[in-house]
Structure 1
């Protein structure tokens, strides 16, 4: 992320003791006190050499009570050979209300295309997803239609049409769609094998958005948090399944990807506070200010995010080329 944030209860200095109030129960209370220690977790994406955040948990975050396999579905790909143009029709993948009602944003994704760097999937969702984290890379989920609540260990978001939801690698979260037969939640899911971040050319060497960038820090929505289990009316001690997508091989691997379900003896929402530069955030396409010119602006002018060997672009309403001799659209590219 481009800037530092802090939420909830954290100690004044990192890697120092942070204790719950002495009179608090086993699942309650925040702040510095003389009770039991909170458990500090360092979450980062490149070891100790890139952005990270520190999270303070009520429970030991590595505790696992059970494990089992999760069949992530068919993620294999077919070569585009002989080479030909493709017209993707993702709406045809979810044709009936019964399919939509039983589909969630994690297990119900249908792979459209992919390679070794990125996978593009589509989902129409009518039910809540399980708790989930992607251990392979960041995810960028675009809300095509509908509304949802996204709950993460960093806090929650209310999302709707036009929102990009950026979920860093290994962030535990779930999707809760606002149920609607007329306007179900429709998601375009971009799963990277790397980071997903604003283009480097939009940022200073210290990470601040530059003046020529088509959006800035003010346009990014941070999580509403911290979010604890009892805040949403759930038992902090309930046993929970967390679905994990990770790399693997063997007879059950699909496209080099496998899944595991970890059963944890507590609710995932146990983070009382966090700080750092790595966290989920939301950006809405309507806050993108398109770069225009008298003559044709190439596709990089429409870029909003980038990953390793791929970019994400917004082709939004804008003043089209206004030179008196400008070539009319469309433009052809090779």
Structure 2
């Protein structure tokens, strides 16, 4: 069993993440908030610093990035961050892909930020809409057919298989009810008259083209437990507590080796007097963090849609102190948190691509304007 020993020294609140009385709650924890933890109660905001060097982190707006698939039929998603376990890219494909793709390196997980359309797969058609997660198993043949040009999808490629968290004490319907996923219905895609059909085998950021004399989605039927599916965040079960702000790990959606995908979604706000409602300051000693802002608001503060923030492990981050003070002032007024943020935590350090570094440099390191 875990130790009940909790050492204290100096001035500390009686409750965790509550009754700070002007102090700043800074967590130094291991194993992504599930291991040994120290809470350091500071006088000053630990995120107020100037940094120079490769671990500075990168913040950029999706609108400042231009994937080649936005205007070029032969284009591809734009790589934003990568490590040995995963690649995180942005797609804005505006017209139907004339080719199929097949990722032979690993699974793919798309998040639909903007736009509607269909993934045509060998399992059948899989429609998508904003807020959808779309899972594509490794080596599945598919192509994207957007309904219009206004699209924006986040793409996570994992070297190892994506899987849902173990059910644990909550049971199999958490973090989501698998009966609410959408699966494709088998349907043969008829040939459209062309001489051959290209399938791009994706590997290590490159591709090898394979050409078939027929449409490769000619499957009459399928069965088994390895298939693509979609799931909308509106159906995700959000865990809450009235007396403490829960750690990010309770919002886990799917995971692969070294990669954890989380949903921060609308929920009831903490209601016990004195409880802090914003995540505490932390430096996540063992994980890099990516936050992708889908939309919504926090205590009346709008979230900038499409904002992408990278916090390297070991680097302090958290909401600004003035936002925390505002949440305390409005404690009796605000009863819900309305944010919609997609988070990706990785065990290995992420390397920002040159395109992301250039876009961030062009913006001068500016952060989104959030009036508090």
User: TM-score normalised to the size of structure 2?
Assistant: 0.58
- The yes-or-no answer on 1:241 pairing with 2:198 is yes
- The yes-or-no answer on 1:202 pairing with 2:167 is yes
- The answer for the alignment partner of 1:82 in structure 2 is 54
CA–CA distance in structure 2, aligned partners of residues 152 and 212 of structure 1: 27
- Answer whether contact 2:181 2:231 (CA < 8 A) is retained: yes
CA–CA distance in structure 2, aligned partners of residues 99 and 267 of structure 1: 22
1:229 CA drift (Å): 2.2
CA–CA distance in structure 1, aligned partners of residues 168 and 192 of structure 2: 41
CA–CA distance in structure 1, aligned partners of residues 69 and 202 of structure 2: 23
Paired residue for 2:232, among 271, 278, 284? Answer: 284
- Answer whether contact 1:149 1:156 (CA < 8 A) is retained: yes
- The answer for the alignment partner of 2:258 in structure 1 is 309
CA–CA distance in structure 2, aligned partners of residues 109 and 196 of structure 1: 20
SS in 2 for 1:321: coil
- The answer for the alignment partner of 1:175 in structure 2 is 144
- The yes-or-no answer on 1:125 pairing with 2:93 is yes
- The yes-or-no answer on 1:227 pairing with 2:187 is yes
CA–CA distance in structure 1, aligned partners of residues 188 and 168 of structure 2: 34
Residue deviations 1:161-216, cap 9 Å, x none? 00110000000000000114xxx1111010111111211x2279xxxx92561311
SS in 2 for 1:120: strand
1:325 CA drift (Å): 2.1
Equivalent pairs counted in the alignment come to: 230
- The answer for the alignment partner of 2:340 in structure 1 is none
Alpha-carbon distance change, 203 to 101 in structure 1, aligned in 2, over 3 angstroms: farther
1:88 CA drift (Å): 2.6
- Answer whether contact 1:138 1:194 (CA < 8 A) is retained: yes
1:259 CA drift (Å): 1.3
- The yes-or-no answer on 1:218 pairing with 2:179 is yes
Gaps of 5+ in 2: 1-51, 284-372
SS in 2 for 1:87: strand
Gaps of 5+ in 1: 1-79, 248-256
Alpha-carbon distance change, 241 to 317 in structure 1, aligned in 2, over 3 angstroms: same
CA–CA distance in structure 1, aligned partners of residues 54 and 145 of structure 2: 41
1:148 CA drift (Å): 0.9
Residue deviations 1:245-273, cap 9 Å, x none? 124xxxxxxxxx43100111211121111
